[in-house]
Structure 1
Amino acid sequence: MYYNLQAFGEEVRSIRINLGFTQKDVCKLSGIHEDTLRKIENGKVIPTQKTLDLLSPILKKDLNQLLLNYRLNNYPAFEEIRNRLESKIDRDEYQTLSVELDDLKALLHTESNTYFINLINQLILLIESIILNKKYSKINEALDKLIAAMKITTPEFSLNNYKNLIYSSMESRILMNIALLINKIESTEKSLEIMEFCIQIVDPNEKLYPKICYNLSYTYHRLDIHESALKYSDLGIDYCIQHRDYNGLNLLYFRKGVAEYLLSHNYSTLLHHLSQL
């Protein structure tokens, strides 16, 4: 199930303001973290039932029921396309992504909700970026696509101010892919900086979490920081097992095996050098 989070967030903000509350007031009374309320009001997160239960008596409104008014009816079709896309990416099957691209464009013609149209357009640009990168090695053009996708919903986004903004799950996915391209265009260090930011802003229960863990593990491997590579591969594996989400689990185990081998090899080498002293 997906919702017009932007419109829902705007109504929550309007309710709060009409009651004369600041965000700080509501958070103090409800026990909700201020960043959580900020994300809800900016349409960047699907709030949990527990969160809405805590906010409802403060805002004098059944927010769980209110959220249902913002359901997106065509979302199941969107989710089915996105799941196919994720499976192909996990299997490195980039040659046929044009199928999902065409399906999304067809879905776009049936939709009138502006929020959902933006979401579909972001995924279209993400796919086009992946095709440009993987199929044609046009890295800069691929990066331009991702920045354009981000600016659909966050017009003020730039690579200089990205840490000052609030991101939805889709935007976090786009930012992760930007980090992967920055690794090729600029430096692994800059890519790591962005990727570390991604892991901080993504909920550990989100589907995106193990993908960021995998990419962090690989990035640390490139920098020969194998302890951190092992740490993030383990975090990704823990997520997959806990949520019974086995897509990409083999890749995480591969990264774990590489990190363990290199750590063991480096330790053995160190012991050998010490024995020669």
Structure 2
Amino acid sequence: MFSSYNMQLFGKKLKDIRSNLHLTQVKVSKLTGINVDAIRKIEKGSVVPKLETLELLTFVYKYNLLDLLNQYKDDYKLLEYYRKLDDAIVNSNNDRVITISEIVNEILNIDNIELINRNELSQLKIFAQQTKNYYCRNIEDYNIVIDELKKAIILTNCNFELDKLSDSVYSLFEIRILILIGLYSSRFKKNDDAIKIFRYCLDYLLIKEQANDEWLRISIIKLYYNLSYEYYLIQNDLKSYQYAKLGSEFCLKHKTHYLLALIYFRLGTAQYYLSDKAYKDTYSRAVALSYGLSDLEMVEYLSQKLEFESSLSSILWEVQKKSGSEK
């Protein structure tokens, strides 16, 4: 997803190889035609060498430097920041806005990571800033936000056009930016646009689902939830039910509780409006799961949601009573 490398360690290794061959930087320059200053910068880890530079050095050093560079791949650095931000979105408590703001500020101050494509860092910073704006509700103009997020995708996907989604191939992180565009579309009550984006992203990721990637599966679960919610907003209860059902089945298949309580809540709500009496059992599962995971924040959230109907409040009371007796 991100292509970061520990260039300082890689450069030190190149220097060791050169020294063991009893070659000076000047001698290597004469043998390869590479400028001495470029060799010095590579060994200091201050630049990422070009492919042709590594091939020329490979010939002299008798060492496959392309394979060696891969051993110093350091993808986790940017990915770690993304995951911290994503975890704050999903799991943080009532201080969510503060937590997200702190992580975004960390990301905006990153400047010491060597990347094959520096645009990936710029892309992450745009994504982080607009994520912060979304959750802090610091939003002024829909078109400005969408233009920023489109610019973020174009940094690594130059042919991207929002109205021609199927014309491009996407990385998982580019898909995550598309999901954020969908969330903004929903926030500005452009529900049809949000549904179009979410459905495209879901279909795209489901094709890759066999890759057994945890981040990919989390994104799929989010999309099932978001689609169920979008269809609820436009009062298409059957579609809301179908996506919530698919989402719950996906979670159970992969043995994850991620967003499952919320998906059960969406499923129960759809059943309620479809006059399906099973809604009571589904709501009970949502609350019981939250209790079982000791997710008191989720219990409180569901409690507030279920209070919109007196009969649903009784469900909550029964589950609380049962959970209390089991402890």
TM interval, shorter chain, is 0.5 to 0.7
Q: What are the residue-to-residue correspondences of 1:240-255 with 2, within 5 Å?
A: 240-255=251-266
> How far has the Cα of 1:81 moved from its partner?
2.5
* Equivalent-residue separation in structure 1 for 2:248 and 2:130 (angstroms): 27
Instruction: Tell me the residue number matched to 1:199.
Output: 202
The correspondence for 1:137, drawn from 136, 139, 146, is 139
Q: Give me the whole-angstrom Cα distance separating, in 1, the residues matched to 2:253 and 2:81.
A: 25
Q: Is the 8 A contact 2:154 2:160 kept in 1?
A: yes
Deviation larger for 253-262 or 135-144: 135-144
1:67/1:226 CA distance change after superposition, 3 Å: farther
1:258 to 259, 266, 269: 269
Amino acid at match of 2:79: E
- 2:103 maps to a residue whose letter is E
Judged with a 3 Å threshold, the aligned counterparts in structure 2 of structure 1 residues 110 and 245 are, in CA distance, closer, same or farther, namely farther
Q: Name the counterpart of 1:121.
A: 122
Structure showing greater radius of gyration is: 2
Normalised by the size of structure 2, how large is the TM-score? 0.55
Structure 1: give runs of 5+ residues left out of the alignment. Answer: 6-65, 267-277
Aligned match of 1:223: 234
Query: d(CA) in 2 for partners of 1:252 and 1:67?
Result: 44
Query: 2:176 & 2:72 partners in 1: Cα distance?
Result: 21
Matched residues in 2 for 1:228 and 1:86: separation?
A: 27
- Checking the alignment, whether the CA contact within 8 Å between 1:179 and 1:192 is kept in structure 2 is yes
Q: How does 1:40-119 map to 2 (within 5 A)?
A: 70=70, 73-91=73-91, 93-106=96-109, 108-115=110-117, 117-119=118-120
Letter in 2 for 1:110: N
The two structures have a TM-score, normalised by structure 1, of 0.64
Partner of 1:274: none
TM superposition shift of 1:91? 4.0
Say whether the 8 Å CA contact 1:146–1:178 is kept in structure 2.
Answer: yes
DSSP-derived class of the 2:235 partner: coil
RMSD: 2.9
CA distance in 2, matches of 1:246, 1:123: 27
Per-residue deviation at 1:68? Answer: 8.9
- Spell out the pairing of 1:142-157 with structure 2 (5 A cutoff): 142-157=145-160
Whether the aligned pair in 2 keeps the contact of 1:87 and 1:247 (CA below 8 Å) is: no
Distance 1:71 1:244 in 2: 33
In structure 2, how many angstroms separate the alpha carbons of the residues matched to 1:125 and 1:86?
15
Q: Shift of the alpha carbon at 1:67?
A: 8.6
| Counterparts in 2 of 1:254 and 1:123: CA distance versus 1, 3 Å | farther
* Greater RCO structure (CA 8 Å; 6+ sep): 1
Identity of matched residues, %: 24
Partner of 2:17: none
Unpaired segments ≥5 residues, structure 2:
5-65, 278-327
1:139–1:68 distance in 2 versus 1, CA, 3 Å = farther
Q: Distance in 1 between matches of 2:68 and 2:174?
A: 23
Given that 2:107 and 2:128 are in contact with CA atoms closer than 8 Å, whether structure 1 keeps it comes out as no
How many residues of Structure 1 are paired with residues of Structure 2 in the alignment? 204
